[in-house]
Amino acid sequence: MKFSPLLSELISALTCLPGVGNKSAQRMAFHLLERNRQGALALSTVLHNAMEHIRHCQRCRTFTEDPLCEICRHPERADSGLLCIVESPQDVMAIEQTLTFKGTYFVLMGHLSPIDGIGPDDIGLGELEQRLREEAISEVILATNPTVEGEATAHYIAQLCSRHNIEASRIAHGVPVGGELEYIDGNTLTHAFSGRRRL
């Protein structure tokens, strides 16, 4: 004996969510059926609309239902001449929350990873080069993650920039503000030393 066909289907469909196995999917299905059918119906509708309408911004590749995202539509940002390269839309969000950057972004939606077969075309570097050619960009700020792949990707894009005679910079890595030296990993400390600045 199993759950009813429709209930089994629901449990199985819920496992398409990342980190949700059969047991959690069961718990979710029962929770929604018992306590939040309205919420589940609303989720069903939004899920459909989002999958049908959210595409990539034609300029920066972040997720948006409009041809251009809110940041790319902003005239002063486009005129700033600053272009920040990040790996994901969440990174855009993190940087925006600091209120320190007023330029535009290019979202790679990943990083170079030859082992996984992810090459320059998969992270939109053709579109990036087009922007380097067509826009008046004075500086490209490389804000990919401080991982092996993030560093390699930053390095690769820096070379692209130099071919277009555009200055490229890398965000600083070092001891986080408020961090205590004894708890910082060695790799970060090495970065902190090699990136030291004269006071």
Rule CB under 8 A: which residues touch its own copies? 1-7, 9-10, 13-14, 16-19, 24, 26-34, 36-37, 39-54, 63-66, 69-71, 88-90, 92-93, 96, 109
Residues 101-120, one symbol each (x = binds Zn ion by CB under 5 A, - = not), give --------------------
Q: Which of 126-156 are b and which e, b meaning 16 or more Cβ less than 10 Å from the residue's Cβ?
A: ebbbebbeeeebeebbbbbbeeebbbebbeb
Nearer to Zn ion, 104 or 153 (CB): 104
Nearer to its own copies, 107 or 168 (CB): 107
Q: In what order do the strands lie in the sheet with 139-142?
A: 104-107, 82-86, 139-142, 167-170
State the SS3 of 81-130.
CEEEEECCHHHHHHHHHHCCCCCEEEECCCCCEHHHCECHHHHCHHHHHH
Q: Indicate whether 140 belongs to the interface with Zn ion (CB under 5 A).
A: no
* Closest to 170 (Cα-Cα) out of 181, 190, 154, 157: 154
Window 14 to 43, contacts with Zn ion (CB under 5 A): none
Out of 10, 29, 69, 137, point to the residue binding Zn ion (CB under 5 A). 69
Q: Which does 16 bind (CB under 5 to 8 A by kind): its own copies, Zn ion, none?
A: its own copies
Beta carbon of residue 4, minimum distance to its own copies (angstroms, whole number): 4
Q: Which of 14, 29, 59, 124 binds Zn ion (CB under 5 A)?
A: 59
Pair of tokens at residue 166:
């555009």
Binder to Zn ion among 10, 60, 85, 92 (CB under 5 A)? 60
Tokens of 82: 């600053």
Q: At 109, list the tokens.
A: 């939606």
Of 11, 29, 57, 125, which lies in the binding site for Zn ion, with binding defined by CB under 5 A?
57
**Residue with smaller CB distance to Zn ion, 14 or 142:** 142
**Residue number, 105 or 142, with CB nearest to Zn ion:** 105
Among 14, 25, 72, 158, binds Zn ion (CB under 5 A): 72
DSSP sequence for 20-59: --HHHHHHHHHHHHHH-HHHHHHHHHHHHHHHHH-EE-TT
Smallest gap from residue 141 Cβ to its own copies (A): 17
Q: Which two tokens stand for residue 153?
A: 């990707």
